[in-house]
């Protein structure tokens, strides 16, 4: 038997394994053959075209819904904050207006009560004209009990008003020279702001004369027609009407 015969004999005895052959072919194919572009595309599509799957579409929809819901919540929050802010601003304005109206009502009520109890307002002060007669010291005490002080005249307008309102009555003023004869001074019974009363006086001609060396308190007399010449000094024990004044500092 020659060599060819031996090989022929061996070949006839070997059984080819189809599986092994296929694997060899595949191995050979992927080992030696470069991947084509289409092959890569097929692989990519197979792995990443998730949106074509029902679960992918559902995820996208859920994501969009979440974004829309979040935007809605943010929008509602902004709107709510604006509405609440507007509501509180309106409530504060109404409360402030109500407080102002309440103060105005109380103020008017107080003015009405004062007027009905004998008080009269002129500019920033209130005035009370007594119906009784008392000494200067008792008159001063009466004004203090009323939370006021004997009237202090600060201006020509006030002098004219008091002269007119006191009518035909002679009234005490908060003016005296009881401390030093001839040195006239205004009282300062808590009449803050009135202590700077100007030195202008409205004495009658020939007054003050300190008659009998015993006239130390000033009265406003209506026995003269000139309101700017109507003061007279009298004994402080003389019983007269008096006028109290309430200033903003004593109200
Ligand atoms: Ca005054
Ligand atoms: Ca005197
Ligand atoms: Ca006199």
- The pLDDT tens digits for 102-115 are 999 888 887 777 76
* Rounded average pLDDT over 36-44: 51
The answer on 170 and 111 residing in a single domain is no
* Rounded average pLDDT over 58-64: 88
pLDDT score, position 11 = 44
* Rounded average pLDDT over 73-96: 89
> Domain range holding 91?
48-117
| Residue 43 maps to a domain | no
Stretch among 84-93, 117-126, 129-138, 190-199 having the lowest mean pLDDT:
190-199
Residues in the chain, total:
251
| Residue 112 maps to a domain | yes
| Residue 29 maps to a domain | no
For 160, residues 6+ apart whose C-beta sits below 8 A from its C-beta are 227, 228
CA of 207 to the centre of ligand 3 (A): 6
Is residue 45 scored above 60 in pLDDT? no
| Residue 158 maps to a domain | yes
Neighbours of 219 (CB within 10 A): 23
Is residue 31 scored above 60 in pLDDT? no
Q: What tokens does 5 get?
A: 């015969």
Is residue 24 scored above 50 in pLDDT? no
The answer on 102 and 127 residing in a single domain is no
Is residue 20 scored above 70 in pLDDT? no
CA of 157 to the centre of ligand 3 (A): 24
| DSSP structure class, residue 199 | S
pLDDT higher at 226 or 3: 226
Q: What tokens does 10 get?
A: 């061996």
| Residue 210 maps to a domain | yes
The answer on 92 and 197 residing in a single domain is no
* Rounded average pLDDT over 95-99: 91
Choose one of 117, 139, 168: the last residue of a domain: 117
For the CA of 198, the nearest ligand: 1
The answer on 150 and 113 residing in a single domain is no
For the CA of 232, the nearest ligand: 3
Strands 241-246 and 171-176: parallel
Is residue 189 scored above 80 in pLDDT? no
CA of 84 to the centre of ligand 2 (A): 72
pTM for the structure as a whole: 0.57
The answer on 239 and 147 residing in a single domain is yes
The answer on 164 and 237 residing in a single domain is yes
Q: Say how many domains are in the chain.
A: 2
């Amino acid at each position: 038997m020659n060599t060819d015969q031996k090989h022929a004999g061996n070949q006839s005895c070997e059984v080819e394994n189809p599986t092994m052959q296929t694997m060899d072919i595949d191995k050979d194919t992927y080992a030696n053959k470069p991947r084509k572009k289409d092959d890569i595309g097929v692989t990519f599509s197979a792995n990443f075209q998730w949106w074509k799957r029902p679960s992918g579409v559902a995820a996208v929809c859920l994501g969009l819904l979440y974004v829309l819901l979040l935007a809605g919540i943010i929008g509602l929050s902004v709107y709510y904050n604006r509405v609440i802010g507007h509501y509180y601003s309106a409530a504060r304005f109404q409360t402030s207006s109500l407080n102002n109206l309440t103060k105005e009502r109380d103020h008017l009520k107080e003015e009405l009560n004062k007027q009905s109890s004998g008080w009269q307002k002129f500019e920033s002060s209130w005035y009370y004209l007594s119906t009784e007669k008392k000494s200067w010291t008792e008159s001063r005490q009466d004004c203090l009990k009323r939370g006021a002080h004997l009237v202090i005249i600060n201006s020509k307008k006030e002098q004219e008003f008091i002269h007119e309102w006191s009518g035909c009555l002679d009234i005490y003023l908060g003016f005296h020279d009881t401390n030093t004869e001839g040195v006239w001074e205004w009282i300062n019974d808590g009449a803050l702001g009135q202590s700077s009363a100007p030195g202008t006086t409205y004495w009658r001609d020939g007054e003050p004369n300190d008659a009998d060396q015993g006239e130390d308190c000033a009265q406003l007399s209506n026995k003269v027609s000139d309101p700017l010449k109507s003061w007279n000094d009298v004994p402080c024990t003389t019983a007269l009407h008096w006028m109290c004044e309430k200033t903003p500092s004593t109200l």
